[in-house]
Amino acid sequence: MAGKITVFNPEGNAPTVGGKSLAPRPDSLEGRTVFLVDAGFENSADFVDQLRASLHEHRPGITTVTEHLSTPFDPAPDLYARIAAEGDAAILGVGL
Amino acid sequence: MPSPVPGRTSAELRGYVEGDNPVSGNPFSRDLFDGLTRPLDDADMAGATFERARSRLLEPATEDDLHDLFLENGWTDKLPIVLPTEERVAAMLAGTSRAPGEVVGRLRAASTRDYWEFTVEQAAANAVMAGARPEYLPVILALLGSGYSARHSSISSMSEAVVVNGPVRDEIGMNSGIGALGPYSRANATIGRAYGIGSQNLQGGSAPGISYMGSLGNPFSFTNLTFAENEERSPWEPYHVQHGFAPGDSTATIFRGVRTMITSGGIADDWREHSARRIFNATRASGGVVLLLDPLAAQNLVEHQGFARKADLIEFISDTGRMTARRWWGHGLQELFFGYRARAGEEPWASYLAADPDEQVRINVPEDVHVIVVGGRSAAAWSVLEGMANGTKLDRSLSGRTVSVDEWR
């Protein structure tokens, strides 16, 4: 041990992370409803609009619903519940 | 999908959607649908739980190897640190009456990440690393216990600025005079450095590209622009007294969202019409104004510009700095921060939204204008920092506040 010293670990205490399983996926999006969620960062609304327009043109069998988060910094439980109840899939447009 | 999204036309964004995924080389739309419909396997459906083991002390090693280890683990700001030996941490802990195992608080790099919790002993280890003395520890605990990380991951490269008020300034030798904002005080420098190093380690890291996304980075982050107000040379009440504390209380104010400092000359006779107008019109929409005044500049504003009351100066700054509503809403992420508040009828944002696009609106409301007296009377100098504290809440995590130091003695 000569020449060796003991020092503190400078890190904090990590939380225990409880993972959730992924939601079951549909085998096809035809005839299904896909929520397009704009997180609100710069230009993300335009991106979501373009995604929606492209889907309408190329995949007319998919119903799309566009939603805009009031703020990306807080959870949106009401929107999550609505997507779970009315949607089959969701795409989040972050916009960075 | 390619990036960036900001600054691209609608046609370019449509091209992203109908083009290729630059990583896989596949059509983007194919990868998108595959991601939404590909069957899940058992591992996907099982979920996962992570628990990270942590040892209080590291394995014994030579000093050179430990310095290498701290660098490799991202535990430093890349400048040399003092290794937190048991003796040094014990000496540091003498700077507070709080128990070593007491929880100080929680920190995280962004609202999308989980909080990490930490104790007085863990904070003290980081204070040692930064080169702090034990008597600085109450200020350091107040900063780390604030919940505001000095290593926020924002793409905008935010730093913090810290202003200390009250008796603790003199008790621990903080500099509020000549060179207060520079590298001339061990207390100023190491308190701010401990806040930064402590934030990154106690929250679980600040790694570029992973948990730090500031594109340019921010030189203020090394010591978080930490200084004391020159209360004795100020013609007005100290900053912390404005925010509900007694003159004899010791406090630390954390300004968040600090990215720029604009410096002008002295205080000429036409200051109101020219210098002030030019500088306060150059500030960012709702970024906050922190006016730093040398005592000579403050004295001049009182004696020659009519600002006997600090509140009058704050109102003048808010009223002077203006831009069109169109520009105000066009700055950065204003829609994201204020759009929903405006639509909910919250003022003044609702009026800003209803305003004619060419109407001149206040860049910052008075609640977001702050005046701090600092410096050593070698010139009537003044500077303006961008920063948020104690004002309109852009978001829970993006505006700092004044916290008590005395609670941590």
Could A95 and B117 be called an inter-chain contact, meaning their C-beta atoms sit closer than 8 Å? no
Could A17 and B75 be called an inter-chain contact, meaning their C-beta atoms sit closer than 8 Å? no
Q: Is the pLDDT of residue A1 over 60?
A: no
Q: What is the pLDDT of residue B394?
A: 59
DSSP B168-226: HHHHTT---STTTTSS--HHHHHHHHHHHHHHHHHTT---BTTTB--SS--GGGGTTTE
**DSSP alpha helix (H) spans, B292-348:** 295-304, 310-320, 325-330, 334, 340-343
Chain A residues within 8 A of B54 when measuring between CB atoms: 9, 11, 13-14
Of B10, B50, B60, the CB nearest to A5: B60
Q: Which two tokens stand for residue A57?
A: 């043109």
pTM of the model: 0.91
Provide ipTM, 2 decimals.
0.89
What does the angle CA B292 – CA B298 – CA B303 come to, to the nearest 5 degrees? 160
3-class DSSP state of B234: coil
Q: Which two tokens stand for residue B226?
A: 């930490």
Q: What is the mean pLDDT of chain A?
A: 89
Q: What is the pLDDT of residues B185-224, one digit of tens each?
A: 999 999 999 999 999 999 999 999 999 999 999 999 999 9
Torsion sign (Cα): B159, B164, B170, B171: negative
Q: What is the pLDDT of residues B234-279, one digit of tens each?
A: 999 999 999 999 999 999 999 999 999 998 889 999 999 999 999 9
Indicate the domain borders of chain B.
60-259
Chain A residues within 8 A of B47 when measuring between CB atoms: 18-21
Separation of alpha carbons B370 and A45, rounded Å: 35
Could B13 and A47 be called an inter-chain contact, meaning their C-beta atoms sit closer than 8 Å? yes
Closest CA to B9 of A39, A43, A52: A43
3-class DSSP state of B283: coil
Could A20 and B332 be called an inter-chain contact, meaning their C-beta atoms sit closer than 8 Å? no
Could B49 and A16 be called an inter-chain contact, meaning their C-beta atoms sit closer than 8 Å? yes
Indicate the domain borders of chain A.
33-93
Torsion sign (Cα): B310, B180, B91, B80: positive
Q: What is the pLDDT of residues A45-78, one digit of tens each?
A: 899 999 999 999 999 999 999 998 877 777 889 9
Closest CA to B118 of A14, A13, A10, A9: A13
Torsion sign (Cα): A46, B210, B217, B184: positive
Chain B residues within 8 A of A7 when measuring between CB atoms: 57-58, 66, 83-86, 125
Could A12 and B48 be called an inter-chain contact, meaning their C-beta atoms sit closer than 8 Å? no
Instruction: Name residues whose C-beta falls within 8 Å of residue B276's C-beta, 6 or more positions apart in sequence.
Output: B316, B317, B320
Instruction: Identify the closest residue of chain B to A15 by CA–CA distance.
Output: B116
